[in-house]
Amino acid sequence: MDKKYCDQCGQELNISAQFCSACGASVPSVEKETVGNKVDKIIDKTKSGAGGSSNVKFILIGIIAVLAVLILVFAFSAGVICSDAVDVTSLSLDHKYFYANVVSSGTVDERPITGIIKFSFMPKEYLERVTGIGLKNIEITYSDGQTQKVGSGVFNGHENIYNPHQEYSYSMNYVVKLYTKADDNIDAYFKTNHIKADIVVNTTGETNKVIGHINQDVVPPSK
């Protein structure tokens, strides 16, 4: 049987006694540590720990979100990510070739090919202080699978301002360096080709600013 003692006189008392039978002093009650009490304490500690873990998760998510926003802001300001400021309204690719009889090399059917890229766009917003327009990073994939990196187009046209809802058109020539003497390969340039390029402008304060993109198939006119 559980026992307890008086703190004042040391008298042995019954576990349920509230006063000492010898000196009359008040006796504090003793709470028995039961299995139920232990389980309740364990549950309380678990809940407390879980709450702390959740707080840490929320803090980490908040930090990641802030970093993501900062990265996006930097990317937009650096031009890494940007929405097109123009809509491409038309795009065409034409090829011209001519015979150059080169008897000295034993070949009488050289066929150099000239490509002509034409494109039109419509600004979505005012583009001011523009001194030129052109294409950059031009890459053309022909129907025979060959790809030619043309580079950059010559800027032509000198506009002070580009107005929204008004269409502007330009063209540029380039030399096809992948042509061969075989007719079947030459025919590949007069079939569906794919053009990728950046539309860029020169302004009084900036050079080769990307304002749009070209990335689509074109069908050249038949030769």
Q: What is the pTM of this model?
A: 0.58
Same domain, 160 and 101: yes
Same domain, 75 and 107: no
**Contact call for residues 161 and 124 (beta carbons, < 8 A):** no
Same domain, 198 and 104: yes
Same domain, 10 and 90: no
Same domain, 126 and 18: no
In a domain, 99, yes or no: yes
Rounded CA gap, 14 and 20, in Å? Answer: 9
Rounded CA gap, 155 and 134, in Å? Answer: 5
* pLDDT the model gives residue 79: 46
pLDDT < 50 regions, the chain: 1, 32-33, 77-81, 108
**Contact call for residues 106 and 122 (beta carbons, < 8 A):** no
Closest alpha carbon to 207 in 138, 144, 136: 136
Same domain, 120 and 140: yes
Same domain, 64 and 133: no
In a domain, 200, yes or no: yes
* pLDDT the model gives residue 141: 93
Same domain, 179 and 110: yes
Closest alpha carbon to 131 in 200, 210, 203: 203
Same domain, 111 and 180: yes
Same domain, 66 and 8: no
- Helix (H) / strand (E) element for 35: namely helix 35-78
Q: Mean pLDDT, the chain, as a whole number?
A: 76
* Count of domains for the chain: 3
In a domain, 223, yes or no: no
**Stated length of the chain:** 223
Q: Which structural domain range is residue 44 located in?
A: 37-81
In a domain, 190, yes or no: yes
* pLDDT the model gives residue 198: 95
Task: Find tokens 């059917």 and name the residue.
Answer: 109
* pLDDT the model gives residue 114: 83
- Helix (H) / strand (E) element for 72: namely helix 35-78
Same domain, 114 and 188: yes
In a domain, 138, yes or no: yes
Same domain, 195 and 95: yes
In a domain, 189, yes or no: yes
* pLDDT the model gives residue 80: 47
Contacts of residue 169, Cβ cutoff 8 Å, sequence gap at least 6: 90, 118, 119, 120
